[in-house]
Amino acid sequence: MAVTKKVSHENLRQKYLDILINFLSTKKDENGEDDGEEILRISSNTIAFPVVDENGEDEFIEITVKVPLGTKDEAYDGYARQEEYLMKVKEKEEKAKEKAKAKAEKIERDKKLREQKKLMKEKNQKS
């Protein structure tokens, strides 16, 4: 008997939540003792676990598992989303490089301008 798309998505989401929970909670340390994360189920599709950051502060990591539906006319395409993301990252990097280059040019211009002003000031003092 076929299940509805909604039930199919719920089952798929639950399967991968179970895999993540099992993976994160059953880690062993070098002595073979249980060293897994304390997993907290905070919603039907989200888990969280406590961690400590590099400053010794308590934080939480949250992982949400969802099966995206796409649009009415088009199925969700993870590969297309990856391409969009990579293009955005590349665009950001290019903008950052342009900004850094413009800043370096401005610093150089300002340096030359200060040198010129200094020379003019020295010239005026000699006169």
Provide the pLDDT for residue 70. Answer: 82
Provide the pLDDT for residue 127. Answer: 65
**Region at 56 (left for phi over 0; alpha for psi -120 to 50; beta for the rest):** left
CB 22 within 8 A of CB 34: no
Span 19-23, average pLDDT: 92
pLDDT per residue as tens digits for the range 31-62: 777 778 899 999 999 999 999 999 999 999 99
> For residue 21, is pLDDT > 70?
yes
Which residue, among 67, 71, 74, has the nearest Cα to 9 in the 3D structure? 67
CB 36 within 8 A of CB 26: yes
Token digits for 108?
């150089």
**Region at 10 (left for phi over 0; alpha for psi -120 to 50; beta for the rest):** alpha
Domain ranges of the chain: 1-67, 79-127
pTM over 0.95? The answer is no
In the chain, the percentage of residues whose pLDDT exceeds 90 is 68
For the ranges 25-29, 80-84, 111-115, the lowest mean pLDDT is seen at: 25-29
